[in-house]
Chains A and B, each alone.
Chain A
Amino acid sequence: MAVPQPSRAEILIDTRPLWRILAERTYRPILLSTGLVVYLMVRTMPQPEGLSPAGQNALAIFALCLVYWVTSVLPLMVTSLLAIVLLPTTGVISAKETYALFGNEAVFFILGAFILAAALIKCGLSSRIAITILRRFGHTPRTLLLSLFLMNAFMSFFMSEHAVAAMTFPITLEIARVLRLPREGSNYARALFLAMAWGTQIGGIATLLGGGRAPLAIGMLRETSGQSYSFAEWTLAAWPIVAILLVVGWQVIVRFFPIDIDSVRDADAVIAQKLLRMGRPSVREKSIGLVMLATLVAWIVGGEEFGLANIALAGVVVIFLLRLLTWPDLEQYVNWGILLMYGGAIALGAAMTRSGASGWVASVTVSRWAQTPLQVLAVISAIGILLTEAMSHSAVVALLMPVAIGIAQQFGIDPRVMAPAVALPAGLAFTLPVGTPGNAMAYSSGYLRLRDMLVPGFVLVAAAWLAFMATATWYWPLIGLGVGR
């Protein structure tokens, strides 16, 4: 008899105590139910003074999304889809308006940026830039570490910080391996991985390309106030914080983890080999580099006139016209789900503002804790920087932006200030592995203990908040972003 073989799908038996497994498995239904209960409670509570019925419904949806986004009980994008479904069905805004908001320029800008980054990665140009920088500057332990730190930051100016971290993590791991750094107790190894994780994050807030936070905040700002930022304006607002954090971050790394090796000759050899294997830049690499450069210039000089999304998509079209990328290549690199997340968040934020719910939330929360515009900024940025340690950066923006816009209206703050006030702190998670994929990768290397991230990370978080406040207080008024006192 031909005996069929059992399925070879890899089976794992969870041998932990049953109560622990049970608690873990029931965690999800409990959180889902909690969100539903919160939603029903807010919807059915007596209508508060100053809140319209549509506002109350918008608030209920916001509360539901708050629970699901904070706990990640559903994928972020699915929670956004839920918001999109609920907004028209509960009568907050019409279906037509909801889906129109989903087609926000910010969503298409992010899409374009993802595709351009995919082209950079696919053709190998991003790896070449990384390896070239390390080869050029990293000949001593100190210069190698500094090169790695700055290179990660620099790359994140032009690509998603997560993509940069994913690209440079294997390089960092290989450097640690060829230098035979022990998994426990090696200061240099810890410094390398923190330089990788922190470098990408600090660089990621510098431009609109480092992640989806800034475009998302701008999209929400545009939908609620009609105001926006050009590529250059955003960079102009962010650069002092980036500069301060690059200096402070470097100091924190080398002071907490003094360099404990004398030579990086082995790593140098490996990097040289990698560069040798890459050969000369191909025509494809050069072409993609040129398109990227042209797109950057266009963003800076023509962003306001032509629109950031238009320029990004034009760059994408050129890449396909020149056959520098194929659609299947692209599909591997673009996180389509995150586009749904942004679309839903923008729709929810607009609905919150238009229905008056964000103003009401602001009046019962931050407005009670803060008396002046600067205090408002201090509270908003502190909440953002704390939440982002444990939450997705974009989810933090999605949650805080509607409230921040409401507060701005109440305190007479220019709503434009609120976009960087929310998006910049939301990109700075330095203490926990769950804060960002870069941190998670660094921690997963096995060279870092949690304590290695917690204590120095906390110092950097404090520095980041102070740098933000100093920038907002003294620098932003100089470039026309008046916070007021």
Chain B
Amino acid sequence: MRPATHSAYLKLELAERGLVLDPSVRIHSAPFRLSTGADAVARSLDLVLPQGVWVSAPVEERATAGSPFRLLVDGDRVVLVRRDPDGVETLRVEVRAVPQPRFYERHTTRGTPMWRVAAVHGSHLLINPAGACGFSLRGTPCRFCVEGAPATAERDAAAPVEEVLEVVRAAFDEGAAEFVYFNSGFFDAEDGGMGFLAPYVEAVRRHFDTLIATQVHPPRDNRWIDRTYAMGVDALSYNLEMFDEDALKRHCVGRARYIGRERYLEALARAAEVFPSGTVWTDLVVGLEPLQSTMRGIDALAAMAVVPVVSVFRTPEAVGPRASLDGAEVAPVLARLYRAVKERRINMGWMRDLSLGITPLEARHFAGDGARLAVAVQRLTRFRLGALAARSLARFRRRLRVRTVGESFDASHV
């Protein structure tokens, strides 16, 4: 693999190969943000690379022992060092280690540790009120999955809405996250899980001025997609994971068996009509299907105005070994990701701060394009005023687009 030349490349390598924590990190006074808890198969560390690129780098010792990357603390600076097999240092770059949120140490009024209710990934507060993946419960988890596969004996009931609100309040108060990201493990419902999430979404919408993303499964009835937007969800994902049908059946048995690739595509296409440009996305796992297939998927999704996000999953030990990805081989896929989204004029600004996936805008480096306008607009939304404008526009758009049947009749003067 070539030495990393830009942050996106570095993200790709770090996500794939992980990093070794230098002893200087372990004695650092402020604990870094590590993914924690029983749900995590491989522990990972959130870092912000130059140019504001977030990455969740595995730090599990057994899995990353051979990694060329080492993280160390040098005075006040946190430094990422890369060495080649001969031990020659090929890269030394200052990164920002994200401190572990303080609310992870706290408990809710009901006594639940807050980290069990929500976890911070990038600038998103990830909440999975159900606590379990429906496919896992049916014995058909995705083979590469690091979130849903484990047993969930400790969580036998959904988190109450009040408890979720308490944790969101705690996370926002300390500035640990900007957005709320709901995940539902339900797939075997008419609504794809949105009915379950609705009270949570509505409560967060009522109490906080924030943008809400949800990751659910395609509902059986497209009207649930409309309702999802109407209830206040700003960004939506139905994760297809892989485009190739055979690969999907092989790696994502539950998705292929209970929902099917075609339904994912249909629902994504409808969602892209309903939601603002650039807010409907799906992950495509790179490396588990032929790269050509991933590229076909990128093209097909972009043609539907859906944003593909390329994710690199480290393989859980339980699933068995997997050949390492060659960054040089993946680079054309990521270049295609950027170009396809750009050609379809899909807004690239909404997808940001994803530590577990490479967004189209991050992939611009692979295409050799500065994408100055998109970067500038995205940067604007990081400022308080820009963020306020983004939220206000999202609300305004919803007010314009959402109508009830009664209103429609009134407007038609029938």
Residues on A close to B: CB < 8 A?
Answer: 1, 3-6, 9-15, 18, 21-22, 24-25, 72, 440
CB within 8 Å for A11 and B401 given contacts A1-B158, A6-B227: no
Q: Is the CB of B402 within 8 A of A13?
A: yes
A6 vs B231: C-alpha distance in the bound complex, in angstroms? 8
The B362-414 residues at the A interface (CB cut-off 8 A) are 397, 400-405, 408, 411, 413-414
Judged by a CB distance under 8 angstroms, whether B198 is at the interface is yes
CB within 8 Å for A3 and B230 given contacts A11-B402, A18-B397: no
List of A residues within 8 angstroms of B229 by Cβ: 13
Q: What are 23 A-B pairs at a CB distance below 8 A?
A: A1-B158, A3-B196, A5-B195, A6-B195, A6-B199, A6-B202, A9-B404, A10-B405, A11-B404, A12-B405, A12-B408, A13-B403, A14-B401, A14-B402, A14-B403, A15-B274, A18-B397, A18-B401, A21-B400, A24-B411, A25-B400, A72-B413, A440-B414
List of B residues within 8 angstroms of A3 by Cβ: 158, 195-196, 199
Q: Which of B160, B196, B403 contacts A12 (CB 8 A)?
A: B403
A5 vs B194: C-alpha distance in the bound complex, in angstroms? 9
List of A residues within 8 angstroms of B402 by Cβ: 11-14
List of A residues within 8 angstroms of B403 by Cβ: 11-14
Judged by a CB distance under 8 angstroms, whether B273 is at the interface is yes
CB distance from B411 to the nearest CB of A (A): 8
CB distance from B178 to the nearest CB of A (A): 25
Q: Is the CB of B198 within 8 A of A5?
A: yes
Q: Which of A11, A18, A24 contacts B223 (CB 8 A)?
A: A11
Quick one: closest A residue to B276, CB to CB? A18
CB distance from A291 to the nearest CB of B (A): 33
A9 vs B408: C-alpha distance in the bound complex, in angstroms? 13
Q: Is the CB of B400 within 8 A of A1?
A: no
Judged by a CB distance under 8 angstroms, whether B226 is at the interface is yes
CB distance from B266 to the nearest CB of A (A): 16
Query: Quick one: which of A6, A12, A25, A72 has the most chain B CB within 10 A?
Result: A6
CB within 8 Å for A15 and B198 given contacts A6-B227, A6-B231: no
A421 vs B356: C-alpha distance in the bound complex, in angstroms? 77
List of A residues within 8 angstroms of B158 by Cβ: 1, 3
CB within 8 Å for A4 and B199 given contacts A10-B404, A14-B400: yes
The B44-103 residues at the A interface (CB cut-off 8 A) are none
CB distance from A3 to the nearest CB of B (A): 6
Quick one: closest A residue to B407, CB to CB? A12
Judged by a CB distance under 8 angstroms, whether B328 is at the interface is no
A423 vs B223: C-alpha distance in the bound complex, in angstroms? 48
A13 vs B404: C-alpha distance in the bound complex, in angstroms? 8
CB distance from B152 to the nearest CB of A (A): 15
Judged by a CB distance under 8 angstroms, whether B157 is at the interface is yes
A22 vs B413: C-alpha distance in the bound complex, in angstroms? 18
CB distance from B269 to the nearest CB of A (A): 12
List of A residues within 8 angstroms of B230 by Cβ: 11, 13
Interface size class of B (residues with CB under 8 A): 20 to 34
Quick one: closest B residue to A27, CB to CB? B411
A25 vs B414: C-alpha distance in the bound complex, in angstroms? 17
A402 vs B158: C-alpha distance in the bound complex, in angstroms? 70
A21 vs B396: C-alpha distance in the bound complex, in angstroms? 12
Further pairs besides A6-B202, A72-B413: 8, Cβ < 8 Å = A1-B158, A9-B405, A10-B404, A13-B229, A14-B400, A21-B401, A22-B400, A25-B400
Quick one: closest B residue to A10, CB to CB? B405
Q: Is the CB of A6 within 8 A of B401?
A: no
Q: Is the CB of A13 within 8 A of B196?
A: no
Q: Which of B227, B231, B274, B400 contacts A18 (CB 8 A)?
A: B400
List of A residues within 8 angstroms of B408 by Cβ: 12
A482 vs B83: C-alpha distance in the bound complex, in angstroms? 110
A22 vs B399: C-alpha distance in the bound complex, in angstroms? 10
Q: Which of A5, A10, A13, A72 contacts B274 (CB 8 A)?
A: A13
CB distance from B395 to the nearest CB of A (A): 13
The B205-263 residues at the A interface (CB cut-off 8 A) are 223, 226-227, 229-231
A14 vs B398: C-alpha distance in the bound complex, in angstroms? 10
List of A residues within 8 angstroms of B226 by Cβ: 11-13
List of B residues within 8 angstroms of A24 by Cβ: 411
CB distance from B202 to the nearest CB of A (A): 8
A24 vs B411: C-alpha distance in the bound complex, in angstroms? 9
Q: Which of A6, A9, A10, A25 contacts B198 (CB 8 A)?
A: A6
List of B residues within 8 angstroms of A13 by Cβ: 226, 229-230, 273-274, 401-403
Q: Is the CB of A15 within 8 A of B401?
A: yes
List of B residues within 8 angstroms of A9 by Cβ: 404-405
A33 vs B38: C-alpha distance in the bound complex, in angstroms? 62
A14 vs B397: C-alpha distance in the bound complex, in angstroms? 10
CB distance from A69 to the nearest CB of B (A): 14
Top-5 shortest CB links A-B: A6-B198, A10-B405, A11-B230, A13-B226, A21-B400
Quick one: closest A residue to B191, CB to CB? A6
CB within 8 Å for A11 and B227 given contacts A1-B160, A3-B158, A22-B400: yes
CB distance from A334 to the nearest CB of B (A): 20
List of B residues within 8 angstroms of A5 by Cβ: 195, 198
Quick one: closest A residue to B227, CB to CB? A11
A12 vs B195: C-alpha distance in the bound complex, in angstroms? 17
List of A residues within 8 angstroms of B400 by Cβ: 14, 18, 21-22, 25
A22 vs B393: C-alpha distance in the bound complex, in angstroms? 13
Quick one: closest B residue to A6, CB to CB? B198
A72 vs B397: C-alpha distance in the bound complex, in angstroms? 26
CB distance from B128 to the nearest CB of A (A): 14
Quick one: closest A residue to B198, CB to CB? A6
CB within 8 Å for A15 and B227 given contacts A1-B160, A25-B400, A72-B413: no
Quick one: closest A residue to B202, CB to CB? A6
A422 vs B413: C-alpha distance in the bound complex, in angstroms? 25
CB distance from A24 to the nearest CB of B (A): 8
Quick one: closest B residue to A14, CB to CB? B401
A4 vs B195: C-alpha distance in the bound complex, in angstroms? 8
A22 vs B397: C-alpha distance in the bound complex, in angstroms? 9
List of A residues within 8 angstroms of B231 by Cβ: 6
List of A residues within 8 angstroms of B195 by Cβ: 3, 5-6
CB distance from B213 to the nearest CB of A (A): 18
A459 vs B231: C-alpha distance in the bound complex, in angstroms? 52
A22 vs B400: C-alpha distance in the bound complex, in angstroms? 7
CB distance from B410 to the nearest CB of A (A): 10
A6 vs B196: C-alpha distance in the bound complex, in angstroms? 9
Interface 1/0s, chain B 284-302, versus A by CB < 8 A? 0000000000000000000
A346 vs B400: C-alpha distance in the bound complex, in angstroms? 39
CB distance from B407 to the nearest CB of A (A): 8
A10 vs B404: C-alpha distance in the bound complex, in angstroms? 6
CB distance from B308 to the nearest CB of A (A): 22
A191 vs B226: C-alpha distance in the bound complex, in angstroms? 41
List of B residues within 8 angstroms of A22 by Cβ: 400
A15 vs B195: C-alpha distance in the bound complex, in angstroms? 23
Q: Is the CB of A12 within 8 A of B404?
A: yes
A1 vs B161: C-alpha distance in the bound complex, in angstroms? 10
A24 vs B413: C-alpha distance in the bound complex, in angstroms? 13
CB distance from B361 to the nearest CB of A (A): 23
Query: Quick one: which of A4, A11, A440 has the most chain B CB within 10 A?
Result: A11
A9 vs B198: C-alpha distance in the bound complex, in angstroms? 14
Quick one: closest B residue to A444, CB to CB? B414
CB distance from B131 to the nearest CB of A (A): 11
List of A residues within 8 angstroms of B196 by Cβ: 3
List of B residues within 8 angstroms of A11 by Cβ: 223, 226-227, 230, 402-404
CB distance from A8 to the nearest CB of B (A): 9
CB distance from A128 to the nearest CB of B (A): 28
CB distance from A73 to the nearest CB of B (A): 11
CB distance from B404 to the nearest CB of A (A): 6
The B309-349 residues at the A interface (CB cut-off 8 A) are none
Quick one: closest A residue to B397, CB to CB? A18
List of B residues within 8 angstroms of A440 by Cβ: 414
